[in-house]
Structures are given as C-alpha cells and as structure tokens.
Structure 1
C-alpha cells in the first residue's frame, strides 16, 4: 500500500515551509562592555556680564547674588536740560564669562519708562534714545541716536568672551516744553538684558 497523494503533497509543503523557516532564521549577539574611569571633578561656568556707568564709574555684575537684577545709576554729568537740548550717559558692558570655548552674547535695551517725581509733568516732554559705540567717549557725540528705547529696542552686535561694548543713552527735552516743568525731576528706567548667542 502506498502513501496517498494528498498526504505526500502536504508533507512536501510542510518540508518546504520548514526549510524556508530554517533558511531565514536570524542570529543575535549580546554585546556587553565595561570601562572604568578615574574620579574627576565637574565645574560650572559663570554667565557673568559686568556693567560700568560711563559717567559715575559705578561697576556691578548684571546679576546679583540670589538672582536679582542689578541697578546701575547713570547721570548726564553737569548738563542742565533746557528746551531743545540733550544729556548723555552710557554703560560699558563686559562679557566676563569663564565658560570654555566661544561664548558670545548680545545685549538689548528696550522697554524704557519715565516716571515723574512728585506731581510733576516733565516726563511728557522727554525722549530717550540709544546707540551702540566702540568707546565711552562716543556717547557725547550727538549723532547716531536713532533708536527710541521707549517705543523700540536696541540690540548690540555679538560681544565675544572677554570683550565689551558700550550702550549710550540720550535724554532730550522737547523744544515745546513749557516753563512750568523747570526744576522738576523724573526717574528714567532702561532695562538691559543679555542673551547667549
């Protein structure tokens, strides 16, 4: 008696499937490596930006202990503002980071505000413009003050690690200022922010 033809065909198909499975089976390897290292130290870099008032010589780090922003008082020297005149001051900004590799920053002066002292009305007659400069003496040069930091922003070029730039400010009294504002005072605040590039 012989093997029926259907059983032979099924056995042949099963053998072909088994052979196919054996032919495509993969292999795997388990990789494991270990390297020991000697103890070392980890140090953090500082993001230090120093500010120096050009008229006062006052110097401070931009960020104080505890994370508070520094306040730097600038004065226009002995300039007396009369209608149509301006006073000038500036700040020397130094990139004193100790980070490894290049660490350039840019600075932006924007969002300035003028507040009257007491019941005065002088603020309405003042404008505050800014420019960047190569040296602090350039602040007294009246040209180039095209950016109003009351309504716009001024951003410096890149300041490399160890480098510095100067941001100059011009405060001008409108020619239409009335005699009633004579002797009044204001507080002008110009926020300056630094950003790593």
Structure 2
C-alpha cells in the first residue's frame, strides 16, 4: 500500500472520528439538560383501629406506637345480680389513613374471668353481640331472644365502625361485696 493511500485512509478515519465526536457532543448536550424537581413525600399507611367505651365516649388506639395492645376498662351499667344482668359496650372504628379502601374484621376472643371473689366462681358468664352502629348504650333489648352468644364478629369498612355489646350475667345467689375481672380480647384482621 502506498503512502498516498495510507494518508487518505488516515484522513478519512480522522474525519469520521471528528464527526462522531461532534454528533455525540450534540446529543450529550440534550441529555445533560437539568430540570429541577421538588422532593416527593412517601407515607406508609397507618393500620389504625380505635376502641371507645360507650359509657365515656373516649376513644383510644387499639395499639400504641410500640405495638402494645390497649386495655379498655368498660364501665358496666351497674353490678350484675341474679336475674339482673349488667351491660357494657365498645365501639370499634377503622380509622386508617390508607389511600385505598380496605376493610377489617373484628371479633371477640375467649372470655377470661379472673380475680374472682370467693363464692362467685362459676356464677358469672358473659354474652356478646354485634349491634347496629347507631347504638350509644347497650341494654337487654340487644340480647332479646338470644340464649347465649359466645362471640361477636363484624366487618368494618374504612372510616366506619361497629359496636359490640356485652351482657354480664350472674346465675344463682352469691355473697355481697365480691368482685371479679372479666377480660374479652378483641382481635382485628385486615381483609
């Protein structure tokens, strides 16, 4: 190959490289355009359920920020005696801030009767019933025609509530002045 041919090939190659650099530079200028964008905010949805004693109307979150379950002390409508039950109620509200709709199912767990005074053992029982959400107190009419109910269940949509009523019964005579603690867990699961 002659010197003249090598020089032509080298010039052609150099021209191609320069043309390539010019082309890339123009494209790079388009890619390098800076457009300011404001910072976005991402927030996780809050799985919040609140419990409200019907007698006080004070709501509390079902769990605290550490995930510890709340304890709601309900105020019954008196003390049960043979033939005269006491009633209490709790409003369960689905107050989540999630962007989409989702429902939860609330249900009662097994009743636990503890710290029973002597003579009361075996004389106390609890019935539970899900009632219309308009209820502001629980009474005998909520349990009319029901012999016993071992649990209550309700499906609660977002920003809605359900009410569970409790009937505390005493069967038989018991010595006066005794007391007992009745615990009813409420379990809530997202559907």
Contact kept in structure 2, 1:132 and 1:167, CA below 8 Å: yes
Distance 1:146 1:40 in 2: 57
Runs (4+) off by over 6 Å:
none
- Describe the SS at the equivalent of 1:46: coil
**Equivalent residue in structure 1 for 2:176, among 167, 172, 182:** 182
Task: With the length of structure 1 as denominator, give the TM-score of the two structures.
Answer: 0.69
Distance 1:48 1:144 in 2: 34
Of stretches 54-63 and 41-50 in structure 1, the one that deviates more from structure 2 is 54-63
Corresponding residue number in structure 1 for 2:71: 71
Residues 144 and 57 of structure 1: CA distance in aligned 2, closer, same or farther (over 3 Å)? farther
Corresponding residue number in structure 1 for 2:115: 116
Distance 2:147 2:108 in 1: 13
Corresponding residue number in structure 1 for 2:82: 83
Corresponding residue number in structure 2 for 1:132: 130
Structure 1 position 59 matched with structure 2 position 59:
yes
Contact kept in structure 2, 1:48 and 1:97, CA below 8 Å: yes
- Describe the SS at the equivalent of 1:65: coil
Distance 1:58 1:137 in 2: 12
Task: With the length of structure 2 as denominator, give the TM-score of the two structures.
Answer: 0.71
Contact kept in structure 2, 1:90 and 1:136, CA below 8 Å: no
What do the CA deviations read for 1:79-103 (whole angstroms, capped 9, x no partner)? 2322122111100111101111111
CA positional deviation for 1:145: 4.8
Residues 155 and 74 of structure 1: CA distance in aligned 2, closer, same or farther (over 3 Å)? same
Corresponding residue number in structure 2 for 1:35: none
Corresponding residue number in structure 2 for 1:195: 189
RMSD: 2.0
- Describe the SS at the equivalent of 1:101: coil
Distance 1:144 1:137 in 2: 21
Aligned length: 151
In structure 1, stretches of 5+ residues that fail to align are: 1-37
- Describe the SS at the equivalent of 1:64: coil
Corresponding residue number in structure 2 for 1:169: 166
In structure 2, stretches of 5+ residues that fail to align are: 1-36
